[in-house]
């Protein structure tokens, strides 16, 4: 199997121990990690880490999620993990703009036996979100796309998230760049502002977890 994406602050040895101490990575997940590394090697960092995938499957099951949405699907690892945690009648709406990347995802979904639970829309995610009914229907959301649009995605999803529903947001530690006051790159600036906004948002309860590249978890208050 190709080198696995991992939490940026873990040594290779500690990351291996972490993986070995949890549920084993199945063959479909290994295949997808390898396919991503082979077909888009310059972008493997965009794939979530195996431990994050396991966590998201576990949380989807624990929260008894019936309806989920994902912003930024890439080659499908996170959607595979979320879909596996859904109940028998659960559904996941995936939003992306790349047919090339999501063609890999479609194969993984079929191999993993979850294709029938997933709907894919190839269009700018903000357009897809704004085209959805303004009803609180989603139990879980995952945001992992262009960082400058995180706030817009968050606001549109929050309007459509049921009370006690959860939003996961990826890359919120940004390899530690969020601590660098001299870093004025657009993505970093956007993530700093987003993290600050959520910390003071009285509509949600928030925690930032040291999983992968930083995973924010926000629960919509009743």
Phi/psi class of residue 82: alpha, beta or left (left: φ > 0; alpha: ψ in -120 to 50)? alpha
- Is 13 buried (19+), middle (13-18) or exposed (0-12) by CB count in 10 A? exposed
Report how far residue 202's alpha carbon sits from residue 187's, in angstroms, rounded to the nearest whole number. Answer: 25
pLDDT at position 11: 85
Q: What dihedral angle (degrees, nearest 10) is formed by the CA atoms of 161, 163, 169, 172?
A: 140
Collapsing DSSP states into helix, strand and coil, what is residue 173? coil
Report the distance separating Cα 135 and Cα 92, nearest Å. Answer: 16
Note down pLDDT in tens along the chain; length 222 residues: 455 556 777 888 888 898 899 999 999 999 999 999 999 999 999 999 999 999 999 999 999 999 999 999 999 999 999 999 999 999 999 999 999 999 999 999 999 999 999 999 999 999 999 999 999 999 999 999 999 999 999 999 999 999 999 999 999 999 999 999 999 999 999 999 999 999 999 999 999 999 999 999 999 999
Tell me the longest C-alpha to C-alpha distance in the chain: 49
Cα torsion through 23, 24, 29, 30, rounded to 10:
160
**Alpha-carbon separation of residue 25 from 8, 20, 84 (angstroms):** 19, 9, 13
- CA torsion angle for 39, 41, 43, 44 (degrees, to 10)? 100
Q: Which residue in the block uniquely carries the two structure tokens 């906004």?
A: 197
pTM reported for the whole predicted model = 0.95
Extract the tokens encoding 96. Answer: 């992306």
Q: Please report the pLDDT score of residue 5 as a whole number.
A: 55
What domains can you pick out in the chain, each with its CATH number?
12-220 (3.40.50.150)
């Amino acid at each position: 199997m190709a080198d696995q994406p991992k939490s940026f602050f873990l040594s290779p040895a500690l990351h291996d121990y972490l993986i070995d101490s949890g549920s084993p990575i199945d063959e479909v997940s290994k295949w997808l990690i390898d396919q991503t590394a082979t077909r888009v090697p310059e972008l493997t960092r965009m794939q979530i880490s195996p431990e994050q995938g396991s966590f998201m499957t576990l949380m989807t099951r624990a929260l008894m999620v019936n309806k989920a949405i994902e912003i930024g699907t890439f080659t499908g690892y996170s959607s595979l993990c979320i879909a596996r945690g859904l109940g028998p009648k659960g559904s996941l709406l995936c939003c992306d703009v790349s047919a090339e990347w999501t063609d890999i995802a479609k194969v993984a979904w079929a191999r993993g036996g979850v294709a029938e639970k997933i709907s894919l829309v190839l269009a700018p995610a903000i357009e897809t979100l704004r085209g959805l009914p303004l009803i609180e229907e989603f139990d879980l959301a995952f945001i992992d796309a262009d960082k400058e649009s995180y706030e817009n995605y968050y606001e549109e999803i929050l309007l459509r998230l049921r009370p006690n529903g959860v939003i996961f947001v990826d890359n919120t530690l940004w390899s530690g760049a969020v601590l660098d006051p001299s870093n004025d790159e657009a993505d970093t600036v956007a993530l700093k502002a987003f993290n600050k906004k959520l910390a003071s948002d009285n509509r949600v309860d928030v925690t930032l977890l040291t999983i992968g590249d930083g995973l924010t978890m926000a629960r919509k208050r009743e």
